[in-house]
Amino acid sequence: MNLIVIIAATLVAGIGSVWLAALLLRVGVRSGSGGVNPQHLLSLAAGALLATAFMHLLPEAFESRIEPALLFAVLLFGLVFFFLLDKAELWHHGHEHHHGNSAEGPDAHKGHDHAHAHDHHGHGHAHDHAPKGGGSWAVLTGDSVHCFGDGILIASAFVADIRLGLVAALAVLAHEVPHHIGDLVVLRQSSANQRVALVKVSLAGTMTMLGGIAGWWLVDQLHGWLPYFLVLAGSSFVYVALADLIPQLQKRLPARQTAAQVLWLVAGIVLVTLVSRLAHGEHGHEHGHDAGHGEAGHVHKD
């Protein structure tokens, strides 16, 4: 049963986020008073990721019998690892900087200013600087690797507790929406057919499901390592929120817009908490913990 739930959740997170991004682009993502403000999306995603990491993934991992100092070391390793991946990706694409502005045109930056890739594997930044035409392959390659990694993280959470898995899937969905808005903007610049751009990004989104299947198998084989997988997932979410999302919100804004950012951030935290309660309930939560700790998160295959 677990595998079926993982496949369903990863498909919703991977493809659903693409379609939601396309819908928001159609409605109009803009900084003005009309349409959907991308700053609000970023705030919501940041709140959801931080809440999932600090209120769910990390507590679940720390309730194992593993020494806390060791788990904190894994958390630190994860943060430094994702930082280095980002650095490597930025360095790799540095030579393309001079193409970006002229090739993508002024319209592209409406999406990019607020919705560049928030990729904890470091591949998504390719489309910020990639030239027109060739950039689409950089986007799709980075997107596929990113989505595959997301699937592994979601599967790790599901193996620990179905409630935790649903919360992780929601957090991935939230931060993938602004990411995919940026992807669609770039692909529409290099393709006359907007429907083709949507299909391409949707196909990349299906990699989340493949990552989910791979993660389910991997964690099942190495079930004693589950707390480490959860800490790495938590470090990924924290890094994306603090390194990619929140810096884009740290601008001098009028009091009203600043208050709106804070409210949307809190909304992301509340949303994750509500989904957690509704998905499993307090009784189910306690039961999940007892079962998970008895077998170190082992799951029986169907």
Structural contact between residues 73 and 265, judged by C-beta atoms closer than 8 angstroms? no
Q: Which residues of 243-264 are buried (b: 16+ CB within 10 A; e: fewer)?
A: ebbbebbeeeeeeebeebbeeb
Q: How many domains in the chain?
A: 1
Q: Per-residue pLDDT for the chain (302 aa), expressed as one digit of tens each?
A: 589 999 999 999 999 999 988 888 887 665 555 555 777 888 888 888 898 889 888 988 998 889 999 999 999 999 998 888 878 766 765 544 444 443 333 333 333 333 333 444 433 333 333 333 445 676 677 778 888 888 998 999 999 888 889 989 988 888 888 778 877 877 777 666 778 888 888 998 899 999 999 999 988 888 888 899 889 888 988 988 888 888 888 888 888 888 888 998 998 888 888 877 775 554 344 444 444 444 444 433 43
Kindly state whether residue 299 falls inside one of the protein's structural domains.
no
Name residue 29's beta-bridge partners: 36
Kindly state whether residue 301 falls inside one of the protein's structural domains.
no
**What separation in angstroms does the CA of 104 have from each of 38, 39, 194, 215?**
19, 21, 15, 36
Kindly state whether residue 302 falls inside one of the protein's structural domains.
no
Domain residues for the domain of 239 are 2-27+37-294
Structural contact between residues 194 and 188, judged by C-beta atoms closer than 8 angstroms? yes
Kindly state whether residue 32 falls inside one of the protein's structural domains.
no
Q: Structure pTM?
A: 0.67
